[in-house]
Amino acid sequence: MPVEMLRATTPAPPSPPATPADGRERVLAACRAMDDAGGPLPPEQLAAAAGWSTRQLHRRFAEVTGTTPRAYGEALRAARLGPALAETRDTVLDAAFATGYGSVRAFYEQGAARLGMTPSAWAGGGRGERLLWTAGPCSLAGEDLQLLVVASLAGVVAVRLGSDVEALLAEVAGELPLAQLAREDDALTDVLGAVRALARGSAGPVLPVDVRGTAFQAAVWAALRRIPAGQTRSYAEVAAEVGSPGAVRAVGTACARNPAALVTPCHRVVRSDGGLGGFRWGLEVKRALLDAERG
């Protein structure tokens, strides 16, 4: 629905309580309105699009999506920001206003937080950001794998498991093609050792993380790091802990997109019925990690 039509829409009269399916459709209507606008919209416009009061919209939106309407709209705008910068590469200021940020300050505060670096660095494909990496063998679930660890000066950026180090590195580097990726085995010896210890189920030093994601993802990943080794939480329990009990599926998605496995232990999240759920490197590896932690 075009933004102009939304502005002309008056709030709908009170309606009967929404069914779950109807509620999802109303949330989708609000999402589509922001999709069309390319960013956040005033609460009154979103409520009109959904046929709810602003209070109902905020509550039901969080139940369905696991985030707020404002955060969803900001994420949309930030998603447009990267392509806008990559396409124009003229001035950061032009890109800021082209994507709807009302001031340069708001652009840097909000855009940089979502991109994980300064907007000017993103415009250069990550140019100027220095990431260090190292790799080494790691045995899990009877498989001889390679463990790749990528770190910035602030903490662990990524952890990958697989058979081909170059492929793992390319996966991480693909998001920041112009970042400075430097192999530093000596500098990261202790970091690699600490991550290896986690794979063996052993306790080690708490590693700082420097991961990039949405506010909801960051909240989920922080909750995962609070789960003690050898214990598990259900996706529903994690959703409740981050204040979004209806966002069970969104928690699962955040776990699947966890960039720093082992350091952020997504393998400790299971289904409510006790099933293992999913895991990026397979259920055998997930089971092996849990068994190792339980001794």
Instruction: Determine the pLDDT at residue 11.
Output: 39
Kindly list the domain boundaries of the chain, sorted by start residue: 3-66, 72-123, 130-199, 215-294
- Distance of alpha carbon 151 from alpha carbon 155, whole angstroms: 6
- Distance of alpha carbon 223 from alpha carbon 247, whole angstroms: 14
- Distance of alpha carbon 264 from alpha carbon 253, whole angstroms: 14
Note if the pTM is more than 0.75: no
Half-sphere exposure of 28 (CA within 13 A, CB side): 6
Class of domain 215-294: mainly alpha
Instruction: Determine the pLDDT at residue 14.
Output: 39
Instruction: Determine the pLDDT at residue 78.
Output: 65
pLDDT in tens, the chain (295 residues): 333 332 333 333 334 344 455 677 888 888 888 878 888 889 899 999 999 998 898 888 877 776 788 877 877 776 666 566 555 555 555 666 666 656 555 554 555 455 454 555 545 555 556 788 999 999 887 778 899 998 877 778 899 998 899 999 998 888 667 778 899 898 888 889 999 999 888 877 778 887 767 778 888 998 999 999 989 999 999 999 988 898 999 999 999 989 899 999 999 999 998 888 888 888 888 999 999 998 7
Task: Provide the edge-to-edge strand list for the sheet that holds 143-151.
Answer: 156-162, 143-151, 130-140, 180-183
Contact 34, 41 (CB under 8 A): yes
Domain at 130-199: CATH architecture: 2-Layer Sandwich (3.30)
- Distance of alpha carbon 51 from alpha carbon 243, whole angstroms: 25
Contact 262, 224 (CB under 8 A): no
The conformational region for residue 219 under phi > 0 = left, psi -120 to 50 = alpha, else beta, is alpha
The 3-class secondary structure across the chain, one letter per residue, is CCHHHHHHCCCCCCCCCCCHHHHHHHHHHHHHHHHHHCCCCCHHHHHHHHCCCHHHHHHHHHHHHCCCHHHHHHHHHHHHHHHHHHHHCCCHHHHHHHCCCCCHHHHHHHHHHHHCCCHHHHHCCCCCCEEEEEEEEEEECCEEEEEEEEECCCCEEEEEEECCHHHHHHHHHCCCCCCEEEECCCCCHHHHHHHHHHHCCCCCCCCCECCCCCHHHHHHHHHHHCCCCCCCEEHHHHHHHCCCCCCHHHHHHHHHCCCEECCECHHHEECCCCCCCCCCCCHHHHHHHHHHHHC
Contact 52, 26 (CB under 8 A): yes
Same CATH topology for 130-199 and 215-294? no
Count other Cβ atoms within 10 Å, centred on residue 96: 22
Half-sphere exposure of 9 (CA within 13 A, CB side): 21
Q: Which residues are catalytic?
A: 266
